[in-house]
Amino acid sequence: MSAFRRDLMTVCALGAALVVGGFVGSNYMLGVLVLFGMTSILVLSYRTITTMGGWSFAHIAIMGIGGYSVAILSKPPFGLPVLVATVAGGLFAALFAALLSYPVLRTRQYYFFLSTFAAGEALRQCFIQFREITGGTSGIAFIERPEILPNPSSTLEFLCLVAAVLVLLGIFYASLDASDAGLKIKAVGEDEALSSSIGIDAWALRALAFILGSFGAGIAGGLFATYNGIVSPSDINAMLMFKVVAACVIGGTTRFSGPILGLLFLTLIEEIFRVVPEFVPMIWGVFVIIAILFGQWARGRLMVWRAKNA
């Protein structure tokens, strides 16, 4: 089976599992599944960014742009339908990423983490400071659920919407991955100098991955905002950023299944230690360290083993 079809299968299976789980599960389970679905959109869009070789740390802040767009656009004086506002939020996030990409993508490796981290934090501070627009620390409340749902207060219907968005975006990202541009983006991520030498416009492709990945983050942010009914700076927390990065580290980013399985693992830990939530970050952290150190050790052993059996 080709990689493209496998990714499609992963996304569709996940969407189906969410809906089935929603129908059979309890109310509590429903809430967990909605969160899982929305975070899956985040990690899948994040994975697209990582294919170009840079791990952004502004993803959650860019998600916040989507959230605030929905909050502002769905209320008067704009009064757009929530779904339209969500798509607009994705576009705004992509636009912001496009503006950010000029300075930020001139940096590589450690510099890229630092500059995206600082830019994301500054954006969060702006959400806090510009009270007139964003409502300061208390944020914007009373955001409606999408009107196209027959019964907007039903979590199950919202879950189906999240699953649908997840599958749509998943198909989009999988097609991107399999397309000519996607393959080139991966080549740039592997070796930028070599790719440039055969006439690939490395800068444009890195920007493309960053912008399209941020679009998904904006959509996810819009969904979070309309699900919670409120958007505030505390949504843009470092923990969620860490969760997304950790899912990609633990699961790996080669295929779509990696980040999803990583996220599943983190969510399971979160649910197992539900009674002591203050320990969850520590346990996540320990597993990330183990995953990184063990991966390094295992790769070393594998190379030794191959050399011996060559």
Partner 1 sequence: MQILLNCLSLTSFYLCFALGLALVFGVMRIINFAHGEFFMIGAYATYLCISTLSPQVGGPVAWAIGAIVAAAVTGLLGLVLHRTMVVPLGDKPLAIFISTLALSYVIQTIVVQIFGPVGLSIAPPMRGVVNFGGAILPASRLVVIGVAVVLAAGLWVFLMRSEAGRRIRAVAQNPRGALLQGIRTEKVGRLTLILGSSIAGICGAAMGPISQISPYMGAGTLWKAFIIIIVGGIGNIWGAVAAAAIFGVLDTLMSQFGAGRFLALTSAAVMLFVLSVKPSGLFGEKE
Q: Which is nearer to partner 1, 145 or 243 (CB)?
A: 243
Residue 207 CA, chain-centre distance (Å), reads 17
Q: Which is nearer to partner 1, 16 or 292 (CB)?
A: 292
How many H-runs (helices) and E-runs (strands) does the chain carry? 13, 0
> What's the Cα-to-Cα distance from 200 to each of 75, 177, 189, 195, rounded to whole Å?
44, 16, 12, 6
Q: Which is nearer to partner 1, 179 or 237 (CB)?
A: 237
Q: How many CB atoms lie within 10 A of CB 177?
A: 20
282 makes contact with partner 1 (CB under 8 A): yes
Residue 88 CA, chain-centre distance (Å), reads 17
Nearest to 217 by CA among 113, 61, 100, 101: 61
H runs (alpha helix) in 191-279: 192-197, 202-228, 238-251, 257-272
Identified binder of partner 1 from the candidate list 297, 301, 302, 305, rule CB under 8 A: 297
122 makes contact with partner 1 (CB under 8 A): yes
Identified binder of partner 1 from the candidate list 130, 133, 271, 304, rule CB under 8 A: 130
Identified binder of partner 1 from the candidate list 115, 214, 226, 257, rule CB under 8 A: 115
Nearest to 8 by CA among 238, 218, 256, 278: 256
Q: Which is nearer to partner 1, 16 or 298 (CB)?
A: 298
* DSSP element (H, E) containing 61: helix 59-73
Distance of alpha carbon 214 from alpha carbon 46, whole angstroms: 8
Residue 231 phi/psi, 5-degree rounding, is: -130, 130
Distance of alpha carbon 15 from alpha carbon 160, whole angstroms: 8
Q: Six-digit token pair at 105?
A: 């993508």
Q: Which stretch binds partner 1 (CB under 8 A): 15-23, 64-72, 101-109, 172-180?
A: 101-109
100 makes contact with partner 1 (CB under 8 A): yes
Identified binder of partner 1 from the candidate list 13, 20, 106, 133, rule CB under 8 A: 106
Distance of closest approach, residue 234 Cβ to partner 1, in angstroms: 13
129 makes contact with partner 1 (CB under 8 A): yes
Residues 6+ apart with CB under 8 A from 23: 156
Q: Which stretch binds partner 1 (CB under 8 A): 34-42, 67-75, 262-270, 290-298?
A: 290-298
Q: Which is nearer to partner 1, 5 or 108 (CB)?
A: 108
Q: How many CB atoms lie within 10 A of CB 58?
A: 28
Q: Which stretch binds partner 1 (CB under 8 A): 176-184, 191-199, 201-209, 289-297?
A: 289-297
Q: Which is nearer to partner 1, 103 or 229 (CB)?
A: 103
Distance of closest approach, residue 177 Cβ to partner 1, in angstroms: 21
Contact 236, 63 (CB under 8 A): yes
# chain residues binding partner 1, by CB under 8 A: 41
242 makes contact with partner 1 (CB under 8 A): yes
Chain residues that interact with partner 1, rule: CB under 8 A? 55, 100, 102-104, 106-107, 109-111, 113-115, 117-119, 121-123, 125-126, 129-130, 238, 242, 245-246, 249, 278-279, 281-282, 284-286, 288-289, 292-293, 296-297
